[in-house]
Structure 1
Amino acid sequence: MKPLKKQLAGFAAVGAITFAFVAGASAQEKFDLDALVAAAKGEAPITVYAVTGKIVDTAKAFTEKYGVQATGKKVNEATQADLMIRESQSGKVIGDVSLAMDVGSAMAQLLPEGIVESWVPGDIEPDIADASRNPLVVVSDPQVWTYNTEKYKSCPVKNIWELTEPKWKGKVAMLDLFEKPLYADWFNQLETHHDAEIAKAYEDLYGKKLETDQPSATAAWVKAYAGNAPLLADSTAVADAAGAPGQAEPFMAITATAKYRENVTGGLKLGICEGIEPFVGFSYPGFGLIAKGTKSPNAAKLFIHYLLTEEGIANQTVDGKLPSNGKIALPDDEPSGIAKHRDSLMLFDSSTAADDFDKRQDWQDFWRVNYKK
């Protein structure tokens, strides 16, 4: 991977502590959490945008812990990017921190144009994989192939090419990729980095090499998958289609592990398709970014630091979201059991996310042309 070459150089004390983003330097130099807290206490309150409503409670806990005022607001991926662009242009920053904005927008627009910055706290940096440091990934959101455990003893599908067959026509549910473009980005990631695996999955299932007039194995699969008329719906409808009890013919689905909490609270019967080829699903990165125009840079950095701790990310790990801090484990009672399948997920390569953004419309158009009810 070839991430952007921005690293934290260190910090300089000029009255309050002010941290600098300097290319190529190590974030581990002289990191001082106490100094950061002290500097943050002298700044104005901050607002944090996040895709999860749990950010409200996270911000309250942060305020209580450090005495630094923070307010959390639930804002979806695309709207976060739009807001931060508009706020930067107006010079009136409201969102000081962004958690899990649209990755393509971040890589194609906001980071290159200096609207946001990425910062990694030096005391935690060694525990974060290189690929997740720049831009900083705070937590990743797994989207997994899912079946109904009441109907089936194990996943009835062992290979994603099966989902293009008549048996599953109109019986697979997923988020609407026109509302959630991360699914179009997923197609581009597959084609860019894993096309050989898609081709191999075909050969493993059918015992012959894939022959197609499409430019890639991924395009061939997407065409056939779209032609099998998956149900496009919101997250609740997708989870219900696969997991509602009492169904004679439940759907297959690809859905977020966060929906598996409904196994406990709503009686759903969701199970991860262990061993499905070529991947059990994919893991979508949740960047933690700071508005370059923030008037409270130290408070923003302190909040990023908090999100990278077990305490700060706890209300997301209970939903199966994967922290980038390698020292943090998922709770033993996390409903999906995704920890056992982490190595079977396709990982988004953020270094090519700008290309995902550029080709997003192409994949959506390709889907629209090939979708058949």
Structure 2
Amino acid sequence: MKRITTKAFLLATAIATFASGAALAEEFNLDALIEAARAEPAINVYDSTGKIVEMAEKFTAKYGVEAIGTKIKAPAALEMIIREAQAGNVQADVSIISDVPAAMAQLIPQGFAESWVSPALAEHIPSEAQNPLLVVSSANIIAYNTTLYDTCPLTNIWQLTEEEWSGRFAMQDPLGKPSYTDWFNQMRTYADDKVRAAYEAQYGKPLETEYDSATEAFVAALAANGPLLTDSDSAAAEAVAAPGQTEPFLGLVASAKFRDNAGAGFSLGLCKGVDPIIGFMNSGAGLMMTGSDSPNASKLFLHYVMTAEGIAPQSADGKMSSNRSVALPDDEPSGIGEYVDQVLAYNPAKGEDDWDTRQDWQDFWRVNYAR
């Protein structure tokens, strides 16, 4: 596969984004792509969810192009991709990286990987989700225990900084989960005015703070209130809604964990209408490796996962496609589809800044956290 420069790639992406969707769709020939893909070696596809195995199997059955799906966490995938590229021995062909800032900082600029958007689907994908291509977004949302509460007891995120919820809010540790520091940075960038307004709505007076932003004031106060820090969404969900709970906890968990209501007898409820947001999105960037021996099969897979059929195994867990014509299934357990406008979306336009400020946010959290 011909290696392209970062500048050339960005130019190509800009053309794909801003040119006429109808013209691009007319030029794109899916049948020709399928035929070319069938002449190439099998592809290896990585993702941080086990659902990638099922997705690859269904892709193979649909197109007759062999794909092998492997579950691998983002840090390990990033390291593997970089080492393979540096050694000139590329084994991965496609990877859905759940750490978008790292992909933007470590893979694309160095020419190890590139983004590609199917021209047949580009008109349904917002421009901000095309560079790089955001395949899917998972909502991390505030949840409560429906057995202990009739409705969510939270109406404003600033309440999480109050004595009532001291030590009784479960969330993953930002020191070990980069998506949380990304959330802090995205909130400061895109929703700081809303965080400030929420403070005034809660306390009836303007926010006065030593910090440069309302977001920093909120994060400092949240850390000082001693939330229960976990190493997984599963542990946070268990703290909130496992059977037999008597201590009322709130928690920030992935929408996928709501499937445990049926599978494990949990009682997770979605906190909707919380001012100004009910959670944040963590997105996965779909990238193809520039050294792949199967560039057409890689493109075909990226086309496939941007369709309703291709992303269906993840949609069942409340993970949302960037293809706006693809809806969540009616029986998705969290109900997040109705309240997605209350979730802070991830915007990769600030991805490099999210990467650059991670250590700063981790230090900020470490200094303010009350153990």
- Give the TM-score normalised by the residue count of structure 1: 0.93
Aligned partners of 1:28 and 1:119: how far apart in 2? 14
Task: Give the structure 1 partner of residue 286 of structure 2.
Answer: 288
Task: Give the structure 2 partner of residue 129 of structure 1.
Answer: 126
Instruction: Tell me the CA shift for residue 324 of structure 1.
Output: 1.2
CA contact (8 A) 1:77 1:102 kept: yes
Deviations 1:75-125 (A, max 9, x none): 112222222111111111111111133111112221122211111111111
Instruction: Tell me the CA shift for residue 23 of structure 1.
Output: 9.5
Task: Give the structure 1 partner of residue 107 of structure 2.
Answer: 110
Task: Give the structure 2 partner of residue 244 of structure 1.
Answer: 242
* 1:218 maps to 2:215: yes
Does the C-alpha gap of structure 1 residues 196 and 307 become closer, same or farther in structure 2, counting only changes over 3 Å?
same
Task: Give the structure 2 partner of residue 232 of structure 1.
Answer: 229
Instruction: Tell me the CA shift for residue 244 of structure 1.
Output: 1.4
CA contact (8 A) 1:7 1:25 kept: no
CA contact (8 A) 2:98 2:283 kept: no
Aligned partners of 1:113 and 1:359: how far apart in 2? 20
Instruction: Tell me the CA shift for residue 8 of structure 1.
Output: 5.4
Deviations 1:222-248 (A, max 9, x none): 111001111111221101111113322
* 1:148 maps to 2:145: yes
Aligned-residue CA RMSD in angstroms? 1.7
CA contact (8 A) 1:141 1:285 kept: yes
* 1:167 maps to 2:172: no
Instruction: Tell me the CA shift for residue 204 of structure 1.
Output: 0.5
Secondary structure at the counterpart of residue 72 of structure 1? strand
Task: Give the structure 2 partner of residue 7 of structure 1.
Answer: 12
Task: Give the structure 2 partner of residue 300 of structure 1.
Answer: 298
Task: Give the structure 1 partner of residue 155 of structure 2.
Answer: 158
Instruction: Tell me the CA shift for residue 217 of structure 1.
Output: 0.8
CA contact (8 A) 2:219 2:365 kept: yes
CA contact (8 A) 1:5 1:23 kept: no
Partner amino acid, structure 1, of 2:244: G
- Within a 5 Å distance, the mapping from 1:1-373 to structure 2 comes to 5-7=10-12, 27-28=24-25, 30-233=27-230, 234-373=232-371
Q: Where does structure 2 lack aligned partners over 5 or more consecutive residues?
A: 1-8
Deviations 1:183-204 (A, max 9, x none): 0111011112211111111100
CA contact (8 A) 1:5 1:24 kept: no
Q: By percentage of residues, which structure has more helix?
A: 2
Task: Give the structure 1 partner of residue 6 of structure 2.
Answer: none
Aligned partners of 1:22 and 1:148: how far apart in 2? 45
User: Percent identity, aligned pairs only?
Assistant: 50
CA contact (8 A) 1:173 1:230 kept: yes
Aligned partners of 1:130 and 1:368: how far apart in 2? 36
- Give the TM-score normalised by the residue count of structure 2: 0.93
Partner amino acid, structure 2, of 1:163: L
Secondary structure at the counterpart of residue 275 of structure 2? coil
Instruction: Tell me the CA shift for residue 24 of structure 1.
Output: 7.1
Instruction: Tell me the CA shift for residue 271 of structure 1.
Output: 1.0
Q: Once structures 1 and 2 are overlaid, which stretch shifts more, 100-109 or 118-127?
A: 100-109
Instruction: Tell me the CA shift for residue 131 of structure 1.
Output: 1.4
Secondary structure at the counterpart of residue 256 of structure 2? helix
CA contact (8 A) 2:17 2:122 kept: no
Does the C-alpha gap of structure 1 residues 24 and 169 become closer, same or farther in structure 2, counting only changes over 3 Å?
same
Partner amino acid, structure 1, of 2:229: L
Structure 1 stretches of 4+ with a deviation exceeding 4 A read 21-27
Task: Give the structure 2 partner of residue 14 of structure 1.
Answer: none
Q: Where does structure 1 lack aligned partners over 5 or more consecutive residues?
A: 10-20
Secondary structure at the counterpart of residue 330 of structure 1? coil
Aligned partners of 1:192 and 1:280: how far apart in 2? 17
Task: Give the structure 2 partner of residue 15 of structure 1.
Answer: none
Q: Once structures 1 and 2 are overlaid, which stretch shifts more, 23-32 or 283-292?
A: 23-32
CA contact (8 A) 2:16 2:122 kept: no
Secondary structure at the counterpart of residue 102 of structure 2? helix
Aligned partners of 1:6 and 1:69: how far apart in 2? 31
CA contact (8 A) 1:50 1:99 kept: yes
CA contact (8 A) 1:81 1:102 kept: no
Does the C-alpha gap of structure 1 residues 6 and 52 become closer, same or farther in structure 2, counting only changes over 3 Å?
farther
